[in-house]
Amino acid sequence: MIRRYYKSKEYSEDPDFVASVLITAVSDSKQKEERKIREDEEKKRHEEGRRLRHELELARLQFQTVTAGQSETQMFVQEAIGVKKKFHLPKLEFRQFSGNVKDWLPFWNEFEHIHKDADIAPESKFQYLVQATVSGSRAREVVESFPTTGASYGKAVES
């Protein structure tokens, strides 16, 4: 095709014109080829985006299915725990201390749970200690001789 231009009348009359036509034709061809490559790349990116959105949607659905199963399991466990919570144990009556030395160890074995419980304020522990002594006993008199404050609790227990 190019040889045809070299032998043509137009080439012999204006070789620069023919060269520019050839350059334009080649340039147009390259542009078409580059445009086709860009379109193909854009199409691939679009397809990849669709594929990723599809995978994301599948993952989301799978996650919902798993979490729904966990929710059902949690509800079952909570119901089972709820059944346990409905079961009421009788109130425990703490042994009261009268001041008799032979009663000290059994009393302290029970009261020590209150004494060691960090969640109970010292003021409350003091009130429990008062309630855990027999009314009118020497032990009650000793405990009540201290001011009913949290700071006095430790002193009352030691005495």
Stretch 63-73: mean pLDDT, rounded?
A: 65
21 compared with 10, residue with greater pLDDT: 21
Contact status, residue 140 vs residue 134, Cβ threshold 8 Å? yes
Q: What would the mean pLDDT of 126-153 be, rounded to a whole number?
A: 92
Q: What are phi and psi of 11, to 5 degrees?
A: -65, -40
**Where residue 147 falls among pLDDT bands split at 50, 70, 90?**
very high
The arithmetic mean of pLDDT across residues 39-68, rounded, is 82
Inter-residue long-range contacts of 85-90, CB under 8 Å, 24+ positions, other chains counted: none
The gap from C-alpha 92 to its chain's centroid, in whole angstroms, comes to 39
For residue 146, give the amino acid letter. F
pLDDT of 152 strictly over 80: yes
Confidence check: pLDDT of 15 > 80: no
The pLDDT of residue 77? 58
Q: Is 134 exposed, middle or buried (0-12, 13-18, 19+ CB in 10 A)?
A: middle
Q: Which pLDDT belongs to residue 64?
A: 76
Residue position matching structure tokens 């854009």: 42
Q: Does residue 110 come out as left (phi exceeding 0), alpha (psi in the -120 to 50 range) or beta?
A: alpha
- Residue with the larger pLDDT of the pair 80 and 59: 59
- Work out the average pLDDT over 42-54: 88
Q: What is each CA distance from 90 to 86, 95, 109, 131, in whole angstroms?
A: 13, 15, 20, 19
Least confident of 22-31, 92-101, 120-129: 22-31
DSSP string, 16-60: HHHHHHHHHHHHHHHHHHHHHHHHHHHHHHHHHHHHHHHHHHHHH
Are the beta carbons of 104 and 139 closer than 8 angstroms? Answer: no
Global pTM value: 0.44
Tokens (6 digits) for 37: 């490559």
- Give the start-to-end residue ranges of the domains of the chain: 15-72, 101-158
| pLDDT exceeds cutoff 60 at 4 | no
Query: Average pLDDT in the 108-121 region?
Result: 92
Using only the alpha carbons of the chain, give its radius of gyration: 47
